[in-house]
Amino acid sequence: MSKSEAGGAKDLVANLIEWAATSLKKGRARVLVTNVARASTANRVRNCIEEGFREVLHLEDLCRAIGVGSRTLQRCFREHYRLTISQYLLSVRLHATHRELSAARPQERSVTEIALRNGFTHLGRF
């Protein structure tokens, strides 16, 4: 290989490395912005669930409150928390019910009353 060919190959490699580094930086920035937006959406959904878990929650209501479509809402939540919205809602309700049952006196409150209070409307499934 002649000196000019070797110098040309080095320049080509250097240019490829510079191009790849620049492309990766640009791509990562775009992914980061997308991930931040998705995380924000997921966190807003989580806040809505934690505030209203005792009520009947419909996906449409959450979509309206957050301002995104149902697929986007579900995808963002699942990507961020590794749970579906309904799995998370069930978990929040179960934890709240467990806390109340642990603190309650049997003479004052029934299991049924506590379950209904925490959003379990079908006692057979509770």
Tens-digit pLDDT profile for residues 65-91:
999 999 999 999 999 899 999 999 999
Query: Considering Cα of 80, then 84, then 88, then 94, what sign does the dihedral take?
Result: negative
* Chain Cα centroid distance, residue 104: 32
Locate 93 and state its tokens.
């309700």
- Report d(CA 106, CA 26) in Å as an integer: 61
- Report d(CA 49, CA 37) in Å as an integer: 19
Q: pLDDT class for 30, splitting at 50, 70, 90?
A: very low
Reported pTM: 0.69
Cα–Cα separations (whole angstroms), residue 43 to 6, 7, 20, 23, 86: 54, 53, 34, 30, 15
Q: pLDDT class for 16, splitting at 50, 70, 90?
A: low
Q: For residue 91, give the nearest of 120, 63, 62, 60 by alpha carbon.
A: 120
Locate 9 and state its tokens.
């190959």
